[in-house]
Structures are given as C-alpha cells and as structure tokens.
Structure 1
Amino acid sequence: MSAQQSVLLIAGSPSEQSRSSALLDSISHRLALRGGLVVDRLNIRELPAQPLLLAEWGHPAIVKAIDQIARAKAIVVATPVYKAAYSGLLKVLLDLLPQSALKEKTVLPLATGGSPHHMLALDYALRPVLQALAARHILPGVYATDSQVPQAADKRYEVGPEITVRLDDAVLTLLAESFRLPPPTTGFEPVHFSRVRCSV
C-alpha cells in the first residue's frame, strides 16, 4: 500500500493505559472499518529514552520512527495535557523532526485533560508546532475531559458517548481531506464501550 493511503497514529502518553490512548484506539477502530488504508501506530513511550532525549538521529529506533512519519499521508496525534501543554514525551519527538516533516500531510490532534480549561492547549500549544512542521492541513482537534473518558472497574478507560460522536465526525473529515473518500452510506458501525477500551 502506498504512502498516499496510510495513516499514522502517534501516542504521546507516557502511560501504558491512558485516556488519550483510548481516543487513539477508537480512531484506529473507525479507520479499520473503512478498509483500503494502512493504519500504523507509533507509541513514543516505547522508543529508547537515551537516543530520544539526546537526539541521536542515527539510532535505528529513531530512524524508524521518523520514517513512519515520512511515509504517512495522514497523522493522528494524541496527547494528555499537562500544565496547559502537550506531553513532554511528544515534545521530544516533535523536536527531533525535520522542519518539513509534516509537509503535504493532514493532521488530526487529540487531547485529554482534567478540565475544560485545558482545551486551549490544542490551539495555543500543539497547533503552532504542527504548523511549524509544515502540516498541509491541521483539522479541528478533539479534546476530552476526564469525565468524558471514564475509567471502568477493570481500570481501563472508556470513550463516552459525547466524544464518540465527535470522533466519528473527525474521522470522516480526516478521510475526506486526506484521501478524498466519501462518507460511508450507512455511517460507522455502532461502537460498544467494550470495543474501545484502551490497550496501548
């Protein structure tokens, strides 16, 4: 499958299980329903810490991560919001990228935070960095509060109904902008909570 039909999901949470990763899992499920797309995933927390922090561009894991980004036509990046900014883990990766790393790419940002007050982190912290990396089109982001992605009894996170609807719309926009794909005639298959629980 060519890069023109590929989507890369970037998980910026340092935690194995997180609300932002739950959003990313939900997006992944929706993309898989369409078929015909290559959906890849980059969990930044799995990259080796030393070469990531010391900007060792020649390290095989770093080379692979940058190549994943280069080959994708569309990018979905998910991050928790800490102190009104995206995660430090995501920042370290973005700082490693070439200035034109997102050229000709459509980017969908996702974020989670403790309260609605952190919503502006998408526009005032993350979006300028994505623009600086020459993203062709940055879609309106989806921000979810803790209460909108509650934790179940088994400690996994579930995407609530309000955010589910917004993710449906975000994926349709991503497909239309990146691949000129029309919306499905019957809409997305209903997604039960048990199918969108976080598993990084």
Structure 2
Amino acid sequence: MPNVAIIYGGNSHQSRLKGLYQKTESYFKKEGFSTEAIFVHELPAEDLLSANYASEAIAQANAKVANASVVVVLTPVYKAAYSGILKSYLDLLPQKGLEGKAVLPLVLGGSFGHLLAIDYALKPVLSSLGATTILSGAYVLDTHIEKLGNEQFFITAEIDERVDRVLKLAKEESTRALRAY
C-alpha cells in the first residue's frame, strides 16, 4: 500500500491550514493510501531549535517521510515565505530525505501578493533535500476556508476542486513511480 507523509507546518490545529490537512488526509485514505502526519508544532521545541538530530521524536518523524512515496508539505505564508517552524523541521531531514518521492506543496496565504512563495521560497528548499518530483501544488487564500468550530472546516467548491486536482496528480505520480521500481 502506498504511503503518504503529511508535514503540517502550521503552529496550531486552529489554523485554516488544518482544513487543507483534513482534505488531504481524507483524499488519500479514500484512494487506498495509508497516511501519517507530522505536526511540526508538536515536536519537541528544544529539539527543533537546537537541531537535535539524535532526538527520538525527530527520528520518528523522519522515518514517516522515509517510508512515504508521497510527501505533502502544508504551510501558511508568513512574510512571503513558508513558516519558520516548517524550516526548523526541514533542516533536520537527511540531505536526500525527499529523493524518489512525489512532493506536493500546499500553501495557505492571506493575499495573492505571496502567490510565488511556493516557487521562490519553498521549492528551492525541497529541491535541496533531493526532491526531483516537486508538483505544482496549490496556493489557497485563507478566505476560501471557513472555520466551523471543533476543528472542522468548510472549503469553497472552487478550491475543493482545485485541491482535488493537485492531490490526484500526486496520487498518479506516486503510482507511476511505484511501477518504475
């Protein structure tokens, strides 16, 4: 069974980013993939800040990425770049930790002014970690995801369809890569 690692680079479960997480997890489970989440804000802060490569929690998170055929990277945009907490975790992945994986960035922003954060901020870092199959991903405005309460979210139909398209591409790329091996 193909495996998906979802790296959640937000700083809480209250963020609209959680709506994208839930959408991603639900999509892949429905398609027969197993999913594993890495909620970066739940990893030990001291291990992230001190770059503790020997941390058991970091090793467990890295194992989820190592075992995945698809890695979905979820992040909010802050100051035209991905979140600092996400960067702290990505710095602890092995040098070629994303090699041979379909990598899908999903980014949540407050305005179209940061639309290029995927291409100019996030993709270079993912590439430096060995990712050669970085899919286009999706940039979603936070106004298209409504908080309903109790960690439930509503995604507008337009965005729901667009995210479905990029998730389908990740699924297809994963299937193609698995057949190649």
What amino acid is aligned across from residue 118 of structure 1 in structure 2?
A: H
Larger radius of gyration: 1
Q: Hey, what does 1:60 align to over in structure 2?
A: 56
* Contact map agreement 1:18 1:157 (CA 8 A) in 2: no
Q: Residues 41-67 of structure 1, C-alpha deviation per residue, up to 9 Å, x if partnerless? A: 110111010011101111110111111
Q: Hey, what does 2:97 align to over in structure 1?
A: 101
For the residues of structure 1 that align with 2:151 and 2:167, how far apart are their CA atoms? 27
For the residues of structure 1 that align with 2:82 and 2:161, how far apart are their CA atoms? 23
* Alignment equivalent of 1:180, drawn from 155, 176, 180: 176
Q: How many residues align?
A: 177
Q: Hey, what does 1:134 align to over in structure 2?
A: 130
What amino acid is aligned across from residue 78 of structure 1 in structure 2?
A: L
Q: CA deviation at 1:79?
A: 0.4
Which ranges in structure 1 are unaligned for 5 or more consecutive residues? 182-200
* Contact map agreement 1:106 1:137 (CA 8 A) in 2: yes
For the residues of structure 2 that align with 1:26 and 1:59, how far apart are their CA atoms? 30
Q: Residues 161-188 of structure 1, C-alpha deviation per residue, up to 9 Å, x if partnerless? A: 111001111121111111139xxxxxxx
3-state DSSP of counterpart to 1:76? strand
Q: CA deviation at 1:148?
A: 1.0
Q: Hey, what does 1:116 align to over in structure 2?
A: 112
Matching of residue 30 in structure 1 with residue 27 in structure 2: yes
What amino acid is aligned across from residue 136 of structure 2 in structure 1?
A: P
Task: Give me the identity figure in percent.
Answer: 42
For the residues of structure 1 that align with 2:152 and 2:52, how far apart are their CA atoms? 34
Tell me which stretches of 4 or more aligned residues in structure 1 moved more than 6 Å.
none
3-state DSSP of counterpart to 1:157? strand
For the residues of structure 2 that align with 1:29 and 1:128, how far apart are their CA atoms? 28
Q: CA deviation at 1:27?
A: 1.2
Q: Greater CA deviation, 11-20 or 74-83?
A: 11-20
Give the strand-richer structure, 1 or 2: 2
Which ranges in structure 2 are unaligned for 5 or more consecutive residues? none
